[in-house]
Amino acid sequence: MKRLLTRLLLMLTLAPVASSQAMDWLRETPMLQQRVDAGELPAIQERIPQDVRVVNLLGDQVPGEQGGQMRLLMGKQKDIRQLVIYGYARLVGYTPDLELKADILKSYEVVDNRVFTLHLRKGHKWSDGHPFTSEDFRYYWEDIATNPELSKGGPSRHLVIDGQMPNVEYPDAYTVRYSWPSPNPYFLTALAGPAPLYIYKPAHYLRQFHARYQSAEVLDEMMKKYAKRNWMSVHFNRDRPYKATNPDLPTLQPWMNTTYPPSDRFIFERNPYYHRIDQNGRQLPYIDSVAINIASSKLVPAKTGADESDLQGRYLRMDNYTFLKTGAKRSNYDVRLWKAAKGAHLALFPNLNTSDPVYRELLHDVRFRRALSLAIHRYEINQVVYFKLVQESNNTVLTESPLYKPEYKNDGIEFDLEHANRLLDELGLTRRDDRGVRLMVDGRPLEILVQTAGESTEQTDVLELIHDSWMQAGIKLYTIPSTREVFRNRIFSGDAIMSIWSGLENGIPTADYSPMDLAPTSKYQYQWPKWGSYYESSGKSGEAPELPAVRELVALNDQWTHAGTHQERVDIWHRMLDINREQMFTIGIVNHVPHPVVVNNYLQNVPVTGFYDIIPGAYFGIYKPDTFWFEAARR
């Protein structure tokens, strides 16, 4: 309460300062001072927007000073997009409390979830100094998204609701309005995504590659230069803000790539026109540059242990924890344990679309799925594989989500062989062979082949333990390792009876986050790939769901899309979570798995704990890496 009060007071005192033209409290960035003095770069007053975003660092987060270079390790050249994720400058973005807040935008208004009015910051500039205005939104909508040559399939699916395109208006240079005839609940979440929907593009830069603005001769030359077959490919290749492979492409992110690929080391430098400053008038990011070194992903833990990274979470796993801790004694870093935000770290996915009719009938029966869950000794798995550091849980929302209810997590996860055996007997699986394995109606033994993508021994270890306890329920489990592509194809085709993979991507959703992962909406949902494919293709491929409960989930998901109020969405979420609890379409095993994060001791403002996952937190993104800073020894 006291903290809230001080925060309010501070905001009150700072707000008028920020909005007034008295900008003398701003301090020039030391790294840029020379270029400003030489006249190559305007002074800070002209670089930042007039409606600058002031970030107040309070509590555990303290304002710092600018300078220094942060080292990161990545496994592939493609991974440099991680810095676009970490940077997390979005039109609207999530706060650590998972509320949506205007970021690049000054503000936005929403009417009925249909009409979105976006207000830009006056004087906001791209990283090359060109003004960022509604023209950049117009360019995206008219010259890219609805250009029949550049976007053959039309705009992104988040922008087309019930087959309807939005009406996009640009009342003035700082206002953009998107309006749909029916609600679009995906719009803001898509803008805030780790891989965001870019509805703005640097028009002044990209025009030179566009057939509408550029002569055919020049385009011909460009096609030759970039080894492309047509101008669309050149445009596409130059315009990949998420990939960060084109250093010439202006950006709004805190750091911009300055290295042309291919390389094993990429330097991202501070964006001199970035739109956030701290309460002391220092422009963010604090850290001048980020060096990404590419090393084989298997070497990343060893290199991290040798103090070659300042902030590392990627490619570290729980099994590296003891090694990293040992290394911390001779190197200058701290190992912190963050948590994964997935609904289940590991879950079994019974393939309800399996092509074997006997197994399909069994898997369609909720009593069978429940018996499988009851016959898993999750406590033992927690002890043996995870050193009792994780939570035994269904594949559902985490305790931190506002939608959490204890029964979602706990229903049916107790180890109860007696109950499991009773359920299986009820199903008529009473005959057994000489191994004690139950026989199915056609006389075949009840053997369940669980597909794994063969990526870690952790999955096979867990399956080995499940094998032992299932055996006591008369079910024989076989682990079938393969490669990721084969694994997926077996599931899609219906060859697989069951698979093991991670659960819900976002375990800490709010009611405004789409519940589509709980209903068959995508073929990548391993419990019902064909039903998902049916929904995704509007009935062109896949199969229509036959189970009533699944049909209800599809209907609820559609209802959510059209829901007018927050309360309605909350109710729909709970209904869907409850159906999933009751029906146990996926069998969650554990969640809240710790993830080691290595932080250099000189690096300040990195939270001691947090959620380490791409959705919804963009890994470090929502914790604002632009406010991390180095102590003087490393500047």
Partner 1 sequence: MLKYILRRIVTMIPTLLVISMLVFVIIQLPPGDYLESHIAELQSQGESVDEQKIQFLREEYGLDKPVVQQYLYWVAGMLQGDFGYSFEYDLPVTEVVGDRLFLTIIISIATILFTWMIAFPIGIYSATHQYSWGDYGLSMLGFLGLATPNFLLALIMLYLANVYFGTSIGGLMDPEYIGAPWSFDKLLSILEHLWIPVVVIGTSGTAGMIRRLRANLLDELQKQYVTTGRAKGLPPGRLLFKYPLRVALNFFVADVGNLLPAVISGAEIVAVVMSLPTTGPILLSSLQSQDMYLAGSFLMFLALLTVVGVLVSDIALALLDPRIRLGGAASK
Give yes or no for residue 505 binding partner 1 (CB under 8 A): yes
The residue among 258 and 383 lying less far from partner 1, judged by its C-beta, is 258
Q: Which of 7, 35, 157, 435 binds partner 1 (CB under 8 A)?
A: 157
Report angle CA 58, 59, 64 to the nearest 5 degrees: 55
For residue 79, give the DSSP letter: G
Q: Burial letters for 388-411: b for 16+ Cβ neighbours within 10 Å, e otherwise?
A: ebbbbbbbbbbeebebebeebbeb
Give yes or no for residue 295 binding partner 1 (CB under 8 A): yes
Torsion on CA atoms 108, 113, 116, 121, rounded to nearest 10: 20
Residue 240 beta carbon to partner 1: minimum distance, rounded to whole angstroms: 8
For residue 260, give the DSSP letter: P
Sheet holding 587-591, edge to edge: 391-392, 587-591, 346-350, 498-501, 447-452, 476-481
Looking up tokens 């069994």 gives 362
Site string for partner 1, 516-555 (x = CB under 8 A): --------x-------------------------------
Residue 190 beta carbon to partner 1: minimum distance, rounded to whole angstroms: 9
The residue among 295 and 385 lying less far from partner 1, judged by its C-beta, is 295
Site string for partner 1, 256-275 (x = CB under 8 A): ---x-xxxxx----------
Angle between helices 366-374 and 417-426 (to 10 degrees): 160
For the chain, how far is it from start to end, CA to CA, in angstroms? 36
Three-class SS string for 341-390?
A: CCCCCEEEEECCCCCCHHHHHHHHCHHHHHHHHHCCCHHHHHHHHHCCCC
Give yes or no for residue 40 binding partner 1 (CB under 8 A): no
Sign of the alpha-carbon torsion through 524, 612, 345, 92? negative
Residue 49 beta carbon to partner 1: minimum distance, rounded to whole angstroms: 29
Residue 92 beta carbon to partner 1: minimum distance, rounded to whole angstroms: 17
Q: Which stretch binds partner 1 (CB under 8 A): 17-25, 26-34, 297-305, 362-370?
A: 297-305
Please list every residue from 359 through 418 that binds partner 1, using CB under 8 A. Answer: none
Give yes or no for residue 211 binding partner 1 (CB under 8 A): no
The residue among 293 and 399 lying less far from partner 1, judged by its C-beta, is 293
Report angle CA 415, 420, 425 to the nearest 5 degrees: 165
Q: Which stretch binds partner 1 (CB under 8 A): 102-110, 270-278, 403-411, 482-490?
A: 482-490
Give yes or no for residue 512 binding partner 1 (CB under 8 A): no
For residue 141, give the DSSP letter: I
Please list every residue from 595 through 634 that binds partner 1, using CB under 8 A. Answer: 613-615
Give yes or no for residue 313 binding partner 1 (CB under 8 A): no
User: Alpha-carbon distance 591 to 382, whole Å?
Assistant: 10
Give yes or no for residue 248 binding partner 1 (CB under 8 A): no
Give yes or no for residue 306 binding partner 1 (CB under 8 A): yes
Number of helices (H), then strands (E), in the chain: 21, 23
Q: Which of 165, 453, 480, 547 binds partner 1 (CB under 8 A)?
A: 453
Site for partner 1, rule CB under 8 A: 71, 76-78, 151-154, 156-157, 193-195, 227, 229, 232-233, 236-237, 240, 243, 245, 259, 261-265, 291, 293, 295-296, 298-299, 302-303, 306, 308, 342, 453, 455, 483-486, 488-489, 505, 524, 613-615
